[in-house]
Amino acid sequence: MYQPPKLHPLTEQQIIKLAARPGVKKVAVENFLMTVETNGDAFTANVNCTQDARAYGWNAATQTAIRMGIDLAAAQKRRSDYDSQRQRHS
């Protein structure tokens, strides 16, 4: 059965940069992205972002910043998987 790649935690600097984007609700971006990896995978994180956005009335800029963070966490995980595979085969 297919298992989507797990998310990688973001660094504090990455979260701060995303939370500083114009028009975002800083606390919402910081809180969601500080634990983004607990969502498991990008699909689940995006679903949770949509649900939270509806529940808390997040604007488009906030949702975009969070989704950018989710994409970054997914990309970092793919990169770290690739790097670890390369090391094993070296």
pLDDT at 81 over 90: no
Please tell me the distance from the alpha carbon of residue 41 to that of residue 47, in angstroms, as a whole number.
Answer: 10
Q: What is the reported pTM?
A: 0.83
Is the pLDDT score of 82 beyond 50? no
Residue 57 lies in a domain: yes
Does residue 1 lie in a domain region? no
Look at residue 38 and tell me if it is in a domain: yes
83 phi, psi to nearest 5 deg: -60, -40
Residue 66's domain spans which residues?
12-88
Residue 85, pLDDT above cutoff 80: no
Total number of domains constituting the chain: 1
* Residue 55: inside a domain: yes
Whether 7 is covered by a domain: the verdict is no
Q: Is 11 helix (H, G, I), strand (E, B) or coil?
A: coil
In this structure, is residue 4 part of a structural domain?
no
Q: What is the pLDDT of residues 24-62, one digit of tens each?
A: 999 999 999 999 999 999 999 999 999 999 999 999 999
